[in-house]
Amino acid sequence: MFKLTYYKRIQLSFLLFIIVPIITVSVISFVLIKETMVEKLQLTNENFLNVMIDEIGKTIDDVTFASHFIVNDTSFRTYLKNFADTDRLRTYDDYTNFTQIKGVFSLITTKPLNNNTRMYLVNRKRFIIPSGEDDLSAMHKSLDALYQKINFNQPETLQWLGMMRDEPGKEGTYYIARIIYDDHEKEYLSVLLIGISEPYFEKLLKPVEFGKVALFDAKGSRIAGSTELAPPNTAYAHSNLHSEMTLDKTDWTLVYEASKEAFTGKISRTFYMGIGGVILFFIIFSISSMFIAKRLHRPIQKLQRVVRQFGMGNLDARLEVKGRDDIAELSRTLNTMLDQLQGLIHDIEREQEQKRVMELEALFMQIRPHFLINTLNSIKCSLILQKDYVHSGIIDSLMSLLRAYMKFNETATLQEECELMRHYIDIMKIRNEIPVQLTIDLEPDLKSWKLPKLMLQPIIENAIVHGFVDHPDAKVWISAHKKDDCIRIEIENNGEGMEEEQLCRLNDLLLNCDREPDPSYQRVGLINIAQRLKLSFGPEATLSLGTNMHNGITARIQIPIHSTRLSLQ
């Protein structure tokens, strides 16, 4: 497994603190600048499209005005009515009507219409009168196709006929038609055709240098502009900038689309060049920092080498102190610490030697309790031979207590502990001349439950010494049962009891047995039990005292069941 040394970790952290913020700031700046530039481009394009729409709208307004003038002029309608069925100029009246119509055309086209717009009047005999001096051969070729698109049931309204081309590949003309209707005779007089040449739209859309733009009519047919753009309301790539604007009076739609990558490519190249410069700087800085970091780490390597030698047993290993910097101060402190550790090691070795001597002495001292037990056993046998069963039973109880004291740190079952308390009470009966009756009530599952030896003895001793003075009918009850995931052991007596204030004070001491003991309190046996409970079963194990129905005291030991499992492990 690859392991980094201390100075390499410092160096790596230092380099990361440099490269990560630089790259993070660069990426965030690049994204923000890119988004801002795209938004500005989008806004600029929308403004430019609005200019185009205004220009096209102005042309449409001029065309609409011209058609309204022709349709609504009364005298002009008279000329049209007289000229409706003329197929050629045969008479002077025909010529007069023709010149009058041409004069009105000249009046209309002098100012409102631009040079790319042409108007044609076609009577019922398809005689064409142009607004200018145009060659009508192209109009004659397109007239049949145009008439197929005209709806003669919609007079007095502009009809958008679409783009017509004389020949494929040549410039086309977008035509608009309006039927001039005679309300009296209930038939049309003539058809007004307005043509807008394709170069007008191409010239209008040409200034777009970045991206593509196209103009579509209400049917989705392209009028002018890029042939690569799809009609409006068509799904487009999310990587492109796309805008659509509709002209209100014509339902024409101006579509603009540009590639984001083409616009942001220069920004991206600049960003990548900057990142490349940062990486090059990072590599140069990394190589330089390696030499500097290694030079700075050399004193730490010496510290590490001395500590390793000391840990391997060379207690005389010390650092050579040079200079007055922080490393030199650390070296002096480490030498002092190593001197202290060496002294502590010698002291521990001396204490271990003394401990071995004391253990041997303790083994030797164990011969004396066994000598006493053997002696008491001999006396017990002698009393049995003399048929003195009372005193032999007392000696048997005393021997049981001696064995328990010899194995004080071992555990015993609850049943064994209660039997030991019987022996203890037998001895106390003889010693204090107090008749004490012991009753034991254990749940079957708890008889084999283990606890430290002599845990109950101080409680019973307190009851006999302090509660049964001159008591004619002394009784002690030991019971154990499970309740609320806890094991409860209760030792009750019918002694003299205790005052409430003293009882509360004692319970407070038992609850906080970890604190410094109260010097005024002399009964340390109960405190020791509380401490042994917490050491054996954890802080949730408690000992508390309370009054009972016999006017005596009940000592209640409560141990959580999960704590007993941990203690047995």
What pLDDT is stored for residue 309 in this prediction? 78
pLDDT digit string (tens) for the chain, length 569 residues: 445 565 566 667 766 777 777 777 777 777 777 677 767 767 777 777 777 777 777 877 777 777 777 777 777 777 778 877 887 888 887 788 788 877 777 776 665 556 777 888 888 888 888 877 777 777 777 888 888 888 888 777 888 787 887 777 677 788 888 888 877 777 888 888 888 887 877 777 776 666 778 888 777 777 777 777 778 777 665 556 777 777 776 777 888 777 666 666 666 777 777 777 777 777 777 777 777 767 766 777 777 777 777 777 777 777 777 777 777 777 778 788 878 888 888 888 877 776 666 555 544 444 455 556 656 666 667 667 777 666 777 777 777 777 766 666 678 888 988 888 888 888 787 777 778 888 999 999 888 888 888 888 888 888 888 888 777 788 899 999 998 889 999 999 888 888 888 888 888 888 887 665 555 555 567 888 888 888 888 888 899 998 888 888 999 999 988 766 545 44
What DSSP line would sit under 391-452, residue for residue? HHHHHHHHHHHHHHHHTTTSEEEHHHHHHHHHHHHHHHHHHH---EEEEEEE-GGGTT-EEE
What pLDDT is stored for residue 477 in this prediction? 92
The answer to whether the beta carbons of residues 492 and 552 sit under 8 Å apart is: yes
Q: What are phi and psi of 544, to 5 degrees?
A: -140, 155
CA distance linking residue 538 with residue 44, whole number of Å:
77
Q: Which two tokens stand for residue 345?
A: 């090691």
Q: Which fold has domain 430-568?
A: Heat Shock Protein 90 (3.30.565)
CATH topology of 25-258 equal to that of 430-568? Answer: no
Each domain of the chain, given as residue ranges in start order, spans 25-258, 318-364, 430-568
Q: What is the dihedral of CA 57, 60, 66, 72, to 10 degrees?
A: -90
Report the predicted TM-score, pTM, of the whole model to 2 decimal places.
0.42
The answer to whether the beta carbons of residues 194 and 150 sit under 8 Å apart is: no
The answer to whether the beta carbons of residues 196 and 214 sit under 8 Å apart is: no
What DSSP line would sit under 368-396, residue for residue? HHHHHHHHHHHHHHHHHHTT-HHHHHHHH
CA distance linking residue 448 with residue 440, whole number of Å:
14
Say how many Å lie between the first and final Cα of the chain, rounded: 36
What is the CATH number that goes with domain 25-258? 3.30.450.220
What pLDDT is stored for residue 378 in this prediction? 67
What pLDDT is stored for residue 261 in this prediction? 67
The kind and range of the H/E element at 215 are: strand 212-216
